[in-house]
């Protein structure tokens, strides 16, 4: 047999593998399905709440539950691909995501929908880490930049098209299904991705001797849950004592997590987050900075959809169209990022954050001026400015944080940073929603009109964003500059 013969079972011959671009197309299709689901749900939340008679905390779980499971699963399922085979785990993840999408579309009550969203988040966490890992092996170095750039483009397109597609599907009300097609649309896409993955993606040999850090995973999950659950459910229960006990217990779990990871290092056991990274000053500050930065927008878009649709009567399609300028801003920023790459990363972060903050300040002023109707055109430039700033800051933020990570920890560092990014989204959803719905309840109780109550509540919720941006700027000033260091991070995930 000729050793140069291309074969899907020989990833080392990736440069000779003729189906690598077709396989990339299949993985991008699956990735696009996942990214689209992140953005498409927001415009459906008011319809979901009305049709399923859900309260505000249950609606929060529809979004937060997905992101929570997704964040917690990124690292362990990434390692599972190394253990069981990246192709096999990718196809399994797509299948789980597709099945969960069918369950979401068939949900008869809010509890079934939330549970199905948990499964959907797990499916996304199973398939997502495999995509970049497979592409890394499948393409020779000279083609990787072009391949990875397509992932950034697909993320931008999903961010732009998600709100419009979601609003359009709900507006069509196909067969009287209302919001359900936003999930059911994933079924044919997922089936195509599974069949194409089995046929086109090369087999990649597993790495023997690897293990998963189940103890660390359990402690991290317990700590995160003990913070998220009371933040989302506390207001509905009237903030009883057990909410504060859970929050205190969360810190105990995180301390136990650190001690466990230190024990794993001493005994040469697997570490879900290497102790060396937790002792890396720049990485820790940068991880917190990234989490805070990405916490500012998912919660905003959740309550913004409520403000537009329930507060001022916009249709889901009109609501989705209103947010498009933000997504276009991110897309434009991703397209021009190469042209401004010569500017110091920390300067780009500061400029981007200040642009987002200015856009949100001006957006807040417009919102507080609306009384009887929303002037969507007046919101357009400020949403566009915010999206442009958000996009400008994302790439250099990952670059700066990972610049000081040793090569042997690069994979863990990049994966953990994306997990921190998603965990920030969960915290933001919990905090911003708590502020918004709590303020709305008080405003309506005081006899304010519906328009005014929603506008005041959204303006109050935006205060969290300004605090977050101030903390990010402080964190940037605390980072130690490392001249000449360059790190290529995996493309970050969308933020809406």
Q: How far apart are CA 206 and CA 88, in angstroms?
A: 11
Full-model pTM: 0.78
The reply to whether 114 falls in a domain is yes
Average of pLDDT values for 360-368? 92
Residue 267 lies in a domain: yes
Mean pLDDT within 283-306: 88
pLDDT, the chain, mean: 82
Residue 167 lies in a domain: yes
Residue 1, in any domain of the structure? no
What percent helix, strand, coil does the chain show, rounded to 5?
80, 0, 20
Task: Please tell me the distance from the alpha carbon of residue 228 to that of residue 65, in angstroms, as a whole number.
Answer: 10
What pLDDT is stored for residue 23 in this prediction?
87
pLDDT above 90: residue 418: no
Q: What are the distances in angstroms from CA 229 to CA 52, 54, 133, 246?
A: 21, 17, 33, 8
Asked, for residue 377, whether it belongs to a domain, the answer is yes
Per-residue confidence (pLDDT) for residue 148, from 0 to 100: 67
Question: What does the pLDDT read at residue 130?
Answer: 84
Q: Which residue has the higher pLDDT, 480 or 215?
A: 215
Tens of pLDDT, residues 180-214: 998 999 999 999 999 998 988 888 777 666 677 88
Q: How far apart are the first and last CA of the chain?
A: 51
Look at residue 2 and tell me if it is in a domain: no
Between 475 and 217, where is the model more confident? 475
Residue 342's pLDDT band (cuts 50, 70, 90)? low
> Is the domain of 136 the same as that of 252?
no
Domain at 451, CATH number: 1.20.1250.20
Q: What string of H, E and C letters represents the secondary structure of 47-102?
A: HHHHHCCCCHHHHHHHHHHHHHHHHHHHHHHHHHHHHHCHHHHHHHHHHHHHHHHH
> Is residue 392 a contact partner of residue 337, using CB atoms and an 8 Å limit?
yes
Q: Tell me if 389 is assigned to some domain.
A: yes
Co-location of 134 and 36 in the same domain: yes
In a domain, 118, yes or no: yes
pLDDT tens, position by position, 438-449:
898 888 888 888
Residue count of the chain, please give it: 496
Listed residues 169, 185, 211: the one ending a domain: 211
pLDDT at 20: 79
Q: How far apart are CA 165 and CA 183, in angstroms?
A: 11
Nearest to 27 by CA among 188, 218, 198: 198
Same domain, residue pair 228 and 358? no
Q: Taking residues 2-7, what's their average pLDDT?
A: 41
Task: Quote the crossing angle between the two packed helices 298-306 and 410-445, to the nearest 10°.
Answer: 30
H-assigned helices in 139-274: 141-172, 181-184, 186-200, 214-237, 241-266
235 in Cβ contact with 437 (< 8 Å):
yes
Kindly state whether residues 263 and 278 are assigned to the same domain.
no
Mean pLDDT computed over 88-104: 94
Listed in sequence order, the residues at least 6 apart from 372 whose beta carbon sits closer than 8 Å to its beta carbon are 451
Nearest to 62 by CA among 114, 20, 7, 136: 114
Which one of 47-61, 448-462, 480-494 scores highest in mean pLDDT? 448-462
Do residue 267 and residue 295 come from a single domain? no
| Residue carrying the six token digits 């507080």 | 368
Helix (H, G, I), strand (E, B) or coil at 279: coil
- Going by the DSSP 8-state scheme, the letter that residue 273 receives in this structure is S
- Rounded CA-CA distance 30/228 in Å is 29
Q: Where among 253, 271, 289 does a domain terminate?
A: 271
Res. 15: pLDDT tops 60: no
487 and 341, same structural domain? yes
Q: Are residues 75 and 86 in the same domain?
A: yes
Distance CA 222, CA 245 (A): 13
Number of domains present in the structure of the chain: 3
Domain that holds residue 217: 213-271
Q: Are residues 242 and 198 in the same domain?
A: no
Percent of the chain at pLDDT above 70?
87
Last residue of a domain, one of 211, 231, 253: 211
Hey, what are 80's tokens? 């599972």
From the list 304, 81, 354, 66, the residue with the least C-alpha distance to 186 is: 66
pLDDT exceeds cutoff 60 at 156: yes
CA–CA–CA angle 475, 479, 484 (5° rounding)? 140
pLDDT given at position 122: 93
In this structure, are 192 and 145 located in the same domain? yes
Give the span between the Cα atoms of 475 and 241, in whole angstroms.
33
Query: Mean pLDDT throughout 9-23?
Result: 61
- pLDDT of residue 11 exceeding 60, the answer is no
Q: Are 370 and 404 in the same domain?
A: yes
Position 113 pLDDT exceeds 90: yes
Query: What count of other Cβ atoms lies within 10 Å of the Cβ of residue 480?
Result: 9
Q: Which of 390-394, 468-472, 492-496 has the lowest mean pLDDT?
A: 492-496
Report the C-alpha gap between 231 and 369 in whole angstroms: 30
Shared-domain flag, residues 100 and 153: yes
Q: Residue 14 carries which DSSP code?
A: G
272-284 residues labelled b (16+ CB within 10 A) or e (exposed): bbbbbbbebebbe
* Distance from C-alpha of 126 to C-alpha of 221, rounded to nearest angstrom: 16
Q: Which conformational region is residue 487 in: left (phi greater than 0), alpha (psi within -120 to 50 degrees), or beta?
A: beta
Higher-confidence residue: 398 or 439? 439
Same domain, 43 and 151: yes
Confidence of residue 491 (pLDDT cuts 50, 70, 90): very low
């Amino acid at each position: 047999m000729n050793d140069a013969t291309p074969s899907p079972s020989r990833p080392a011959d990736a440069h000779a593998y003729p189906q690598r671009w077709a396989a990339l197309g299949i993985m991008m299709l699956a990735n696009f399905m996942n990214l689209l689901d992140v953005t498409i749900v927001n415009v459906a939340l008011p319809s979901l709440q009305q049709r399923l008679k859900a309260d505000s905390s249950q609606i929060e779980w529809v979004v937060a539950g997905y992101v929570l499971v997704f964040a917690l699963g990124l690292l362990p399922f990434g390692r599972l691909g190394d253990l069981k085979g990246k192709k096999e785990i990718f196809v399994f993840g797509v299948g789980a995501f597709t099945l969960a999408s069918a369950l979401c579309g068939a949900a008869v009550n809010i509890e079934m929908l939330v549970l199905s969203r948990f499964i959907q988040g797990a499916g996304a966490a199973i398939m997502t880490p495999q995509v970049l890992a497979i592409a890394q092996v499948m393409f020779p170095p000279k083609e990787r930049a072009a391949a990875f750039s397509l992932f950034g483009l697909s993320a931008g397109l999903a961010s732009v098209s998600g709100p419009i597609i979601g609003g359009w599907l709900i507006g069509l009300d196909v067969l009287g299904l209302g919001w359900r097609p936003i999930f059911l649309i994933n079924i044919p896409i997922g089936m195509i991705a599974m069949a194409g993955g089995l046929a086109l993606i090369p087999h990649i040999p597993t790495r023997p001797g690897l293990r998963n850090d189940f103890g660390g995973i359990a402690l991290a999950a317990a700590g995160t849950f003990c913070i998220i659950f009371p933040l989302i459910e506390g207001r509905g229960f009237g903030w009883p004592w057990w909410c504060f006990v859970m929050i205190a217990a969360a810190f105990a779990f995180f301390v136990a997590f650190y001690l466990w990871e230190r024990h794993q290092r001493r005994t040469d056991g697997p570490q879900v987050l290497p102790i060396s990274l937790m002792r890396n000053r720049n990485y820790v500050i940068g991880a917190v900075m990234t989490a805070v930065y990405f916490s500012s927008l998912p919660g905003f878009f959740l309550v913004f959809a409520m403000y537009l649709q329930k507060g001022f009567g916009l249709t889901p399609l009109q609501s989705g169209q209103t947010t498009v300028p933000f997504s276009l801003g991110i897309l434009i920023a991703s397209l021009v990022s190469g042209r401004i790459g010569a500017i110091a990363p920390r300067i780009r972060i500061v400029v981007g954050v200040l642009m987002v903050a200015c856009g949100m300040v001006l957006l807040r002023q417009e919102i507080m001026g609306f009384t009887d109707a929303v002037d969507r055109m007046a919101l357009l430039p400020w949403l566009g400015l915010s999206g442009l700033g958000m996009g400008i800051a994302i790439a250099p933020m990952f670059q700066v944080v990972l610049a000081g990570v040793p090569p042997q920890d690069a994979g863990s560092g990049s994966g953990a940073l994306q997990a921190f990014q998603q965990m920030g989204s969960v915290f933001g959803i919990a905090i911003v929603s708590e502020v918004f719905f709590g303020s709305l309840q008080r405003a309506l109780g005081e006899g304010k009109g519906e328009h005014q109550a929603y506008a005041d509540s959204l303006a109050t919720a935006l205060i969290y964003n300004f605090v977050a941006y101030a903390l990010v700027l402080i964190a940037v000033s605390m980072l130690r500059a490392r001249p000449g260091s360059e790190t290529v991070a995996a493309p970050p995930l969308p933020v809406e």
